[in-house]
């Protein structure tokens, strides 16, 4: 190998390492009454599609829903909680009309819990004040 090629090779390796350590994740779930605690038989449904950037510690999300028993009265990301258990809100949604879009900064502990599958999202209504539709968030590499 030529001595002149070594700096170029080093630069390529450094850039490749940065790309390999990219910290972007897809975060998704479907929202349904059967996943609420306790479960219900609503015809409401929805979905969460989000991106977690662990380098920037940012979480950007889009939530869609339809068919609820009435207008949404609240919506939250909750955790840490395993499926079938409840937890306090982590992120409270202020604009409840579907689609809901937002972005927020997360702490290292929140990122760890989210990546471990310990977050869920739910939408509340007057008929279902504890939550009408819910889904446990799944995190996969982008």
pLDDT in tens, 25-55: 999 999 999 999 999 999 999 999 999 999 9
pLDDT tens for residues 92-137? Answer: 999 999 999 999 999 999 999 999 999 999 999 999 999 999 999 9
Cα–Cα distance, 131 to 38 (Å, whole number): 9
Q: CA dist 53 to 24, 42, 94, 95, 108, Å?
A: 5, 33, 22, 23, 11
Task: Write down the pLDDT at residue 20.
Answer: 47
Task: Write down the pLDDT at residue 81.
Answer: 96
Helix (H, G, I), strand (E, B) or coil at 40: coil
Q: What are phi and psi of 22, to 5 degrees?
A: -55, 140
pTM over 0.95: no
pLDDT tier, 82 (very low <50, low <70, confident <90, very high otherwise): very high
Q: Looking at domain 23-141, does it have CATH number 2.60.40?
A: yes
Helix (H, G, I), strand (E, B) or coil at 130: coil
Cα–Cα distance, 29 to 49 (Å, whole number): 7
Arithmetic mean of pLDDT, 72-95: 97
Task: Write down the pLDDT at residue 4.
Answer: 55
For residue 5, pLDDT beyond 80: no
Higher pLDDT, residue 141 or 5: 141
Task: Compute how many other C-beta atoms are within 10 angstroms of the C-beta atom of residue 102.
Answer: 15
In the chain, domain spans:
23-141
Task: Write down the pLDDT at residue 18.
Answer: 43
């Amino acid at each position: 190998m030529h001595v002149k090629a070594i700096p170029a090779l080093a630069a390529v390796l450094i850039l490749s390492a940065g790309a390999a350590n990219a910290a972007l994740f897809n975060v998704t779930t479907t929202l349904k009454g059967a996943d609420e605690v306790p479960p219900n038989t609503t015809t409401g449904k929805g979905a969460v599609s989000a991106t977690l950037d662990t380098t920037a510690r940012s979480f950007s999300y889009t939530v869609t829903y339809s068919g609820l028993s009435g207008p949404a009265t609240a919506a939250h990301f909750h955790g840490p909680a395993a499926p079938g258990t409840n937890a306090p809100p982590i992120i409270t949604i202020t604009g409840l009309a579907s689609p809901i879009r937002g972005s927020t900064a997360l702490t290292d502990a929140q990122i760890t819990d989210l990546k471990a599958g310990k977050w869920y999202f739910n939408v509340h209504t007057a008929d279902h004040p504890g939550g009408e539709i819910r889904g446990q968030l799944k995190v996969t590499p982008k």
